[in-house]
């Protein structure tokens, strides 16, 4: 059995993970006990963010959302059987009680979840970091998901947490998704000059970066009809569909086809519910091109799920810079 098929078999047999794991679900009751597994959340963006956290299983932290200033980080702790997700909210305005300012229906332009402390899962589009720390057989499963769309570049970095991990795990365990031109490095990006480290890796243990995409292809990756902020029309008020000459903004959130149209075929529901019944659509193909290691639709398990021995913690980095990785694309061939 080839490695990709083997991975899919392991995921289903050990954890029962399938497309439903990556669809939006209501937030579980908040757990206040936390645990001893560190979850570091870092904002490397140039603007303030408001991370959101959802607990689907186990014990989460005593908060479900907070403000994180540019260039700062915060550490929370979760249980070693925690299952949940982390995402970033943008352009938020809250009143003193943590509700949307001025009685508005939403406080944030992307990733909104009702209030400063999240009451529901984040609204699309939102780049997600998803974790199942105890997936069975002493294994942890995690991924970067674009199933709900894309709003921010993201990296997940494994933190040893006192565990004895292999020295080369960084290059095999730390996915990066950069699909914004404002955060994208050049195609010859090399962060390891002069012995420097980057996202837990070094020259002896480098990340395999995606190199084929240019600033132009990344600027234009989101399908025209799925852009949250469609570019303004030229002076005559009319533009062709689509007009490749219209410059898109550096911050260009992108809805998934499922989030935009909510159709069974795009969302892998009902008669389309199953890996043999639901395949990549035009959005997921575009997303996979710019972020090879990210989930792009509900049954994209085989080359999007990372599996490591149970125990380590993680750092979720918003706007990590650099380029997207292609770890699983080169590992499972």
Q: Distance between CA 68 and CA 120 in Å, rounded?
A: 19
Give burial (CB, 10 Å; 0-12/13-18/19+) of 54.
buried
Q: Does domain 3-184+218-331 have CATH number 2.60.110.10?
A: yes
pLDDT given for residue 165 in this prediction: 62
Tens digit of each residue's pLDDT (9 = 90 or more) over 21-77: 454 454 544 455 567 899 999 999 999 999 999 999 999 988 899 999 999 999 999
Residue 10 banded pLDDT, cuts 50, 70, 90 = very low
Q: How do the domains of the chain map onto residue ranges?
A: 3-184+218-331
Q: Distance between CA 318 and CA 68 in Å, rounded?
A: 11
pLDDT given for residue 18 in this prediction: 45
pLDDT given for residue 242 in this prediction: 59
Tens digit of each residue's pLDDT (9 = 90 or more) over 196-225: 999 999 999 999 999 999 999 999 999 989
pTM of the model: 0.88
pLDDT given for residue 12 in this prediction: 44
| Mean pLDDT in residue range 176-182 | 95
Tens digit of each residue's pLDDT (9 = 90 or more) over 238-266: 555 555 566 777 788 999 999 999 999 99
Q: What is the 3-state secondary structure (H, E, C) of 59-92?
A: CCCCCCECCECCCCEEEEEECCCCEEEEEEEECC
Top pLDDT among 89 and 7 is at 89
How far is CA 246 from its chain centroid? Answer: 27
Q: Distance between CA 281 and CA 287 in Å, rounded?
A: 10
Residue 237 banded pLDDT, cuts 50, 70, 90 = low
Q: Please give the full DSSP string across 196-235, using - where no structure is assigned.
A: --BTTBBTTB---B--S--HHHHHT-S-GGGBSSPPPP-T
Q: Map tokens 């730390």 to a residue.
A: 174
């Amino acid at each position: 059995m080839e490695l990709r098929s083997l991975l899919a078999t392991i995921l289903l047999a050990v954890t029962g993970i399938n497309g439903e794991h990556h669809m939006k679900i209501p937030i579980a009751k908040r757990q206040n006990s936390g645990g001893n597994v560190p979850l570091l959340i870092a904002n490397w963006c140039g603007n303030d963010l408001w991370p959101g956290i959802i607990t689907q299983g186990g014990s989460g932290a005593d908060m479900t959302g907070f403000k994180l200033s540019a260039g700062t980080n915060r550490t929370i702790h979760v249980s070693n059987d925690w299952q949940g997700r982390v995402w970033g909210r943008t352009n938020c305005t809250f009143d003193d009680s943590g509700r949307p300012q001025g009685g508005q229906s939403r406080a944030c332009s992307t990733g909104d979840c009702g209030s400063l402390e999240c009451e529901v899962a984040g609204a699309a589009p939102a780049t997600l970091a998803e974790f199942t720390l105890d997936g069975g057989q002493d294994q942890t499963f995690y991924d970067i998901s674009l199933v709900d769309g894309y709003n921010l570049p993201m990296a997940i970095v494994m933190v040893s947490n006192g565990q004895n991990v292999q020295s080369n795990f960084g290059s095999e365990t730390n996915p990066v998704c950069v699909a914004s031109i404002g955060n994208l490095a050049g195609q010859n990006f090399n962060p390891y000059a002069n012995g420097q480290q980057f996202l837990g890796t070094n020259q002896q243990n480098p990340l395999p970066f995606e190199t084929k995409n240019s600033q132009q292809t990344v600027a234009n990756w989101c399908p025209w009809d799925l852009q949250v902020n469609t570019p303004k029309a030229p002076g005559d008020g009319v533009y062709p569909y689509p007009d490749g000459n219209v410059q898109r903004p550096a911050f260009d959130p992108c809805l998934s086809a499922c989030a935009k149209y909510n159709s069974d075929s795009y969302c892998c529901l009902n008669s389309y519910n199953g890996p043999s019944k639901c395949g990549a659509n035009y959005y997921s193909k575009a997303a996979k091109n710019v972020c090879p290691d990210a989930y792009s639709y509900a049954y994209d398990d085989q080359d999007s799920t990372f599996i490591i021995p149970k125990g380590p913690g993680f750092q979720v980095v918003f706007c990590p810079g650099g380029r997207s990785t292609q770890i699983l694309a080169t590992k499972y061939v």
